[in-house]
Amino acid sequence: MLKGFFKVPQPSNEIILNYAPGSAERVYLENALADEQNVTTEIPMYIGAQRLSTDVKKPIVAPHRHQQVLAYCNYGDGTHATLAIKAALDAKKTWEEMPWEHRASVFLKAAELISTKYRYRLNARTMLGQSKNAYQAEIDSACELIDFLRFNVHYMAEIYAQQPPISAGGVWNRTEQRPLEGFVFALTPFNFTAIAGNLPCACAMMGNVVVWKPADTQIFAADLIMQVLLEAGLPPGVINLIYADGPQVGDVVFKHPDFAGIHFTGSTNVFQEIWKTIGNHIHLYKSYPRIVGETGGKDFILLHPSADWQAASTALLRGAFEYQGQKCSAASRAYIPASLWAAIKNKLLNDLSTIKMGPPTDFSNFINAVIDEKSFDKVASYLSEVANDDEAEIIYGGNCDKSIGYFVEPTVILTQDPYYKTMCEEIFGPVLSIYVYDDEDFEDMLTVIDHTSIYALTGSVFAQDRLAIAQASEKLKNAAGNFYINDKCTGAVVGQQPFGGARKSGTNDKAGAMVNLLRWVSPRTVKETFDPPTDYRYPFLDSN
C-alpha cells in the first residue's frame, strides 16, 4: 500500500449566497422548491446496504402549512436499531482500517456535492421541512454543513500529525489515534440541518461507525444528506440512518455492550435522562462511553449605558427572532439601561412593525412557522400567562395562530422583575424578555445575569466603554461558552467561533473545532526501542 504524509486542502468558509431578486441562485432555489413540493417522496431508512421500508408510513408536513404532506418516511422501532447496530459493527473493521486520506476524501467530496449539485435541493428541503427562510437555510444547510466537513478534515489531519516531541536515544515514540471500540449513537435536532449532518459525520470521519437518529421534524433534509454521503463514496453501514421513537431506540442502544459514545444536540431533560441511563448501564459496556452533548440556552444581551443603541437594537431583533428564536443561541433575555430604553424601544418596535410573517416560499417573509404543534402550544401557553400577569406586559406581538401553520408573532415582553419566569426559563420561540435597569446598576446586572439561568451557552455585551467590556468579560466568564462583544449572540461560524456552552448547556466540546474530534478517538502510545537491555542489573547494584 502506498504511503505519504498527505496535506489536505486548506479550508475556507463557504461564501454565503444572498438570493436577491433577479439573482441566478434565487431562480435555482425557486425551481428546487417547486420540485420538492410537486413530488411526495417516500423516504427509506438506510441500514447497511439496504434502503428499508416498513408498514408505518409517517407523514412529514410543512410547519407553515401543516396540511401539506412533503413526504412519507418509513418509520421503524427498536428492531431497526438492532439491525443498524449490527450493520455498523459489520462495517467497522474495513472502515477503520481504510487509510485516513480516503476517509477524508469521502467528506471532502460530500462538501463539494453540497456546494454545487445539491445546494438548492438541500436548502429547499430545509426551508420546507423546518420552515426556514432562504437566508437561514443558506447559512445552515449549505454553508455551515460544508464548513463542518471541510474544516473537520483539516482538524483530523492536524490530530494525526500531533506526535510526541521527544524520542530519547535508541527510542522512537509515536501516537496512534484509534477510533472508539464499538459504535457511536448520533441523536440530532430539528433546528439545524448542519448539526444533523455534522454529528454523525464528525464521528465517522475519525474511523467510527454510527447509528444516526434525527429528529422526526428534520427527516426531510436528513434523507438528502444521506444520499449525498453515499454518492460521495461512504461505504454502506458506516452511518446508518433510522427513524423511530426515541425511547425505543434508546432502550436498544444504551443496553448494548458495544455502545461507545453518544453525539447529541437536543433538550436538557433528554440529555440528562440519557446520562443517567448510561450511568445505570455502565457495567454493561466494554469501554466507558464518550458523552458529548449540546443542549439548551437562555442567552442574554447586556447593554452598557455607553452602548451604540442602534447596533444593539438590530442585534436584539436579529438575535431573538431569526428562525423564530429556535436557535439554542437565540437572544431571549435583554438588560437595557434606562438612559437608552426610549430610543431602543422606538427603533425595535418600529423595525418589528415592518417584518412580515408567513411561509418561507414567499421570500419577503422574515418570520416563518415554529416547528410543530407541541412547540406552538408551549410558546402560546407562556404568552397567555404573561398576558394575564401583572408582573410583565407584552409590548409587541403576542398573537398565535395554528389554523394553517404554526405561526407565533415575534413578541417582546417587558418585566419589572429580572428573575421573571420568561427571563429564566427556556421558551425556544420568538419571544424576547427585557428588563430595564438603572444606569448606575451595571455591575449589579453582571451578577444578576450570572445567576439567573441554569444555562451558559451564548451571551453578548454592547459597550463603548472598555472598562465595562473588561468587567463583563471577567464577571460573565462562566455564563456563556460563546461570548460576543458588540454583536448579536447568534451566528457562530465554523473555523472562527467554535460553538458550545457549559453548565446545563452541555459538555462544551466545541463543534467546529479540533477538541470535538478528539472525543471520537482513543489514543495509543507506541514506544519502540531499537537496542533493548539484555541484563536486568542497574549500575547502582554494583557494590564496588
β-strand partners of 259: 183
246, 77 Cβ separation under 8 angstroms: no
C-alpha–C-alpha distance, residues 535 and 335, integer Å = 73
Amino acid in position 341 = W
Q: What is the Cα–Cα distance from 223 to 217, expressed in whole angstroms? A: 12
Q: Is 240:269 a contact under the CB 8 Å cutoff?
A: no
What is the grid cell recorded at 358?
408567513
Closest CA to 103 of 235, 276, 270: 235
Residue pair 131/64 in contact by the 8 Å Cβ criterion: yes
Q: What are phi and psi of 532, to 5 degrees?
A: -70, 150
Please give the grid coordinates belonging to residue 101.
486520506
Apex 208 CA angle, 190 and 211, nearest 5: 40
Q: Cell triple for residue 73?
A: 418516511
Residues 217, 372 contacting (CB under 8 angstroms): yes
Q: Please, are residues 407 and 64 in contact by the beta-carbon 8 Å criterion?
A: yes
Query: Which grid coordinates belong to 245?
Result: 421513537
Cell numbers standing for residue 164: 510526541
Name the residue with cell 408505518.
56
Residues designated as active site: 294, 328
HEC letters along 284-327: HCCCCCEEEEECCCCEEEEECCCCCHHHHHHHHHHHHHHHHHCC
* 166, burial (CB in 10 Å: exposed 0-12, middle 13-18, buried 19+): exposed
Cell of 301: 444581551
Report CA torsion sign: 94, 99, 104, 106: negative
- 481-494 exposure pattern, b = at least 16 Cβ within 10 A, e = fewer: bbbbeebbbbbbbb
- Could you give the CA distance from residue 125 to residue 220 in angstroms, rounded to a whole number? 6
Residues in the chain: 544
Taking the C-alpha atoms of residue 242 and residue 80, their distance in angstroms, rounded to an integer, is 7
CA–CA distance, 220 with 241 (Å, rounded to integer)? 12
> Who's near 188: CB < 8 A, 6+ residues apart?
195, 196, 199, 200, 212, 213, 214, 215, 218, 222, 265, 266
Tell me how far apart the alpha carbons of residues 242 and 246 are, in angstroms, rounded to a whole number.
11
* 97, 146, 149, 179, 518 from 157: Cα distances, Å: 16, 17, 13, 14, 12
Give the three cell numbers for residue 60.
412529514
Which are the contacts of 445, defined by CB distance < 8 A and separation ≥ 6? 302, 335, 418, 437
